[in-house]
Amino acid sequence: MSKFLNNKLFRYLSVFLFLNTQFLPVKSSSALAAWALKNNGFLELRTKPNTNLKAYFQRANQIYGDRFWVDFPGELKNPRTIKGNGPIKEIRLGKPNKGKTRLVIEFNEEAYLNPLMWRMVGLNQNRWRIKLFTPKYSFKSIGEGLVEKRIKNIRANQGSSYIKKSVHNYNQLPNVKQNKFSVVLDPGHGGPDPGAIGIGGLRETDVVLEVSKIVEKLLSEKGVKVRLTRKNEVDLDLPPRVSFANNTDADIFVSIHANASRGKRRDINGLETFYFRGWRGRLLAKRIQKQILRVSPGSPDRGVKQGRFYVIKNTRMPAVLVEIGFLTGRLDARRLEKPSHRKRIAYAIAKGILEYLYKVG
Ligand SMILES: [Zn+2]
């Protein structure tokens, strides 16, 4: 109720205004290149260099909750709404009028905000940061790595910061005791069953087989014995995958898949890892999930969950099923079609497995 009284004070608070010398032509694509709302409460934005952004805050009214938004020059092609969690109700990307892009963060009623304390900080000519809430809320980071298909000005800059973050020194994978552990990797689908079909015809069976083979190589180099349930495009049902694993002395079973959303929604991206039972399965899932998220900045964390998939339910050893992204999602698909990203994902899975083996073994 008091909330509605506050609405009488309904006000626009122009919290910050940045003026830079260079305006972009109105018809250009959105100056917003990437954004991430991190679980520490920071909103991070990447824009074209020398972008003029304006940010606003508005208290809740009968229609909307508390809202914070940023306007960018350049028009967004595909408006969309992304579901929030914790203090965030939802995030909307839209074009409020021609030639503009608006990023709106709408808060839930219980969110405690202090917008007078907010300060937008320019980290360099194309990166911005603002702290919107304190990490007392449990919140899973949300973001998009590439808002529009390709923003030429940005690629060079952004490329370097992403690459720096994800340069993998293969020697830095954890060491485990040589010839002690054995792992079964299960590349999902195969043969006549291509699994998910994504943007541009990207096929799950191809992506997960390639990733699995790289994981195999990385683990073998660390002295871990690896067996694959399939090594090429063969038709392989679920029961033989399980009996194959159960007939080995494998310590763990890792099934590798990629997702597709119903209706092939391009705004749905994210990574998730399932286990069926036991603390070991859960620990393994957590280790893998953490690592794959690290190499997929901006892609949502859909979490570690219990799942009743046949292959993880019926295998005897700790078993997980990892979904390495949505082939139907704009952000994930653009990455998963690249061999470089497949390598990064494979590295991440191998790292999660090795961390687990190190801890449990
Ligand atoms: Zn699958």
**pLDDT tens digits for range 279-309:** 999 999 999 999 999 999 889 999 999 999 9
- Domain positions in the chain are 2-158, 170-360
Quote the CA–CA distance of 80 and 347 in Å, as a whole number: 32
Most distant pair of Cα atoms in the chain: their distance: 70
What does the block give as tokens for 344? Answer: 């990064």
The CATH code that applies to domain 2-158 is: 2.60.40.3500
Between the CA of 345 and the centroid of ligand 1 the distance, in Å, is: 16
The alpha helices in 171-309, defined as continuous H runs, are 204-221, 238-246, 278-294
Between the CA of 331 and the centroid of ligand 1 the distance, in Å, is: 18
What does the block give as tokens for 201? Answer: 């015809």
Tell me whether domains 2-158 and 170-360 share a fold. Answer: no
Least confident of 82-91, 240-249, 308-317: 82-91
Rounded average pLDDT over 138-167: 51
Whole-prediction pTM value?
0.57
Give me the chain's average pLDDT, please.
84
* 194-253 per-position pLDDT tens digit: 999 999 999 999 999 999 999 999 999 999 999 999 999 999 999 999 999 999 999 999
What does the block give as tokens for 176? Answer: 């485990």
Between the CA of 158 and the centroid of ligand 1 the distance, in Å, is: 31
Between the CA of 155 and the centroid of ligand 1 the distance, in Å, is: 31
A 10 A CB-CB count for 360 gives 16
Q: Which helix (H) or strand (E) holds 3?
A: helix 2-8
Q: Which residues of 40-70 are buried (b: 16+ CB within 10 A; e: fewer)?
A: ebbbbbbbbbebbbbbbbbbbeeeebbbbbb
The predicted pLDDT at position 160 comes to 32
The CATH code that applies to domain 170-360 is: 3.40.630.40
Between the CA of 210 and the centroid of ligand 1 the distance, in Å, is: 14
Q: Is 165 helix (H, G, I), strand (E, B) or coil?
A: helix
Between the CA of 311 and the centroid of ligand 1 the distance, in Å, is: 11
Between the CA of 324 and the centroid of ligand 1 the distance, in Å, is: 10
